[in-house]
């Protein structure tokens, strides 16, 4: 499971929360929740795939994230005021989700001061990371953003080979990087033509990390810090 507020619970607290959970199977195409609706539930994906998106003023769907098995959905919405889902979630394939009620989460956190402090720290750090992401998007160029994203994925991989496994589509990756799919394609093509990357399906092989970073004027430390 990815790091989340669930990771902050001790065994007793986790058992207490799980005693109230409900496992539900959802069919592909189901809308799990809509943007702006009251956030009454948090979800953990046991199996399947869920897309989080917003409808833009022109009617276009803007995909912000794709959640897979082990991911937690709507954890921050549980503590928002007003407590509303900031985006819409759609089931992309038959999925099994563990569903937790807001009332159970709130009761558990409010009755345990130490847990409440830990949740506050976790949420603060998460917001700080999001602010940093926004700063990065506005202060570096497309090539640098892409290589920084490769470094982020690399550091999360359990096996530190000079290969990057892309678990999301390039269209979604482009959205996360604040660029068009065409710009992302040009960026990848440029790095391939210069001999820094080899592309094989969803896998990008980096020939040499320091050389790749040097080509976009970044320090190789971003892959290791």
User: In this predicted model, what pLDDT tens digit does every residue of 22-41 receive, in sequence order?
Assistant: 999 999 999 999 999 999 99
Per-residue pLDDT of 104-161, as tens digits, reads 999 999 998 999 999 999 888 888 777 776 666 666 888 998 999 899 889 888 777 7
- Bridge partners, 65 (sequence order): 52
In this structure, the chain runs to a length of 225
Tell whether the model's pLDDT for residue 1 goes beyond 60: no
What is the pTM assigned to this prediction?
0.69
Closest CA relative to residue 26, chosen from 89, 76, 87, 74 = 89
Per-residue pLDDT of 72-100, as tens digits, reads 999 999 999 899 999 999 999 999 999 99
Largest alpha-carbon pair distance within the chain? 58
Tell whether the model's pLDDT for residue 2 goes beyond 70: no
For residue 22, give Cα distances in angstroms to 2, 55, 73. Answer: 20, 29, 15
173, two tokens: 């990756």
% of residues, the chain, pLDDT over 70: 96
User: Cα separation of 55 and 88, whole Å?
Assistant: 8
pLDDT on residue 36: 94
Give, to the nearest 10 degrees, the angle between helix 102-110 and helix 113-139: 110
Per-residue pLDDT of 159-211, as tens digits, reads 777 889 888 888 888 888 888 899 999 999 999 999 999 999 889 999 999 99
């Amino acid at each position: 499971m990815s790091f989340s507020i669930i990771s902050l619970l001790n065994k007793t607290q986790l058992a207490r929360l799980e005693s109230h959970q409900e496992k539900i199977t959802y069919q592909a195409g189901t809308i799990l929740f809509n943007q702006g609706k009251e956030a009454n539930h948090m979800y953990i994906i046991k199996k399947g795939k869920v897309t989080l998106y917003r409808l833009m003023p022109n009617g276009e769907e803007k995909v912000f994230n794709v959640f897979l098995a082990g991911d937690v959905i709507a954890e921050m919405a549980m503590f928002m005021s007003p407590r509303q889902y900031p985006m819409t979630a759609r089931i992309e394939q038959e999925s099994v989700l563990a569903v937790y009620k807001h009332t159970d989460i709130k009761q558990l956190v409010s009755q345990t001061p130490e847990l409440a402090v830990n949740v506050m720290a976790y949420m603060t750090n998460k917001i700080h990371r999001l602010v940093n992401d926004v700063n990065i998007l506005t202060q570096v160029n497309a090539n640098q953003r892409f290589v920084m994203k490769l470094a982020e994925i690399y550091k999360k991989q359990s096996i530190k080979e000079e290969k990057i496994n892309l678990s999301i589509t390039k269209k979604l990756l482009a959205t996360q990087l604040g660029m068009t799919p065409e710009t992302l394609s040009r960026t990848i093509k440029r790095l391939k033509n210069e001999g820094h990357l080899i592309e094989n399906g969803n896998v990008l092989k980096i020939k040499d990390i320091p050389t790749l970073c040097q080509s976009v004027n970044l320090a190789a430390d971003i892959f290791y810090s």
